[in-house]
Amino acid sequence: MKQIKTLLIAAVMMLGASSMNAQAKTAHIDVQELLSKMPEMTSAKAQLDKLNKTFETEYSTMVTEYQTKMRKYESEAETATKEVNETRAKEMQDMGQRIQQYRDNAQKQLQDKETEIIKPIMDKAKAAIVKVAKAKGYQYVMDASTLIVADGPNLFEDVKKELKF
């Protein structure tokens, strides 16, 4: 008798949970598409591209200088003294390390700048998605780019209107 009562309670709870899930309203939006179409993202991408180009130009200059010196030192190695060759080898090793450090530092600066520029844009998009979802009565909004089936309402156009673009 006690087992039947336990089974009956479990069945009622499962039915209640499934009916609650059936009442939850869900929608979807492709967040990446939204971000890519935001005017702020175009500006952010231009800033990041400009910074990246600056880093690439400087890096390329450093590598070219390194290669030029290396060719010069290699061509003069036969006629130079052992001490001069050792000094040059040390200089080239130091120069190679500086180039590596510059590249690593440039990558870190670029990542930091990307985070600094893009986070407020993402926060703005998220706030608009939340506002539209609440206004339309949705409890869940899923990112459509990760869904296998996205058959429900798409909030893209509504969020786009909210963001005024």
Fold of 25-162: Protein Binding, DinI Protein; Chain A (3.30.910)
Domain boundaries, the chain: 25-162
pLDDT digits (tens, 9 = 90+) for 89-134: 999 999 999 999 999 999 999 999 999 999 999 999 999 999 999 9
Q: Which residues contact 62 (CB under 8 A, 6 or more apart)?
A: 98, 99, 102
Q: In whole angstroms, what is the distance from residue 78 CA to residue 115 CA?
A: 51
Q: In whole angstroms, what is the distance from residue 33 CA to residue 132 CA?
A: 17
Q: In whole angstroms, what is the distance from residue 119 CA to residue 106 CA?
A: 20
pLDDT digits (tens, 9 = 90+) for 51-71: 999 999 999 999 999 999 999
Q: Which among 69, 42, 63, 57 has a CA at the least distance from the CA of 106?
A: 57
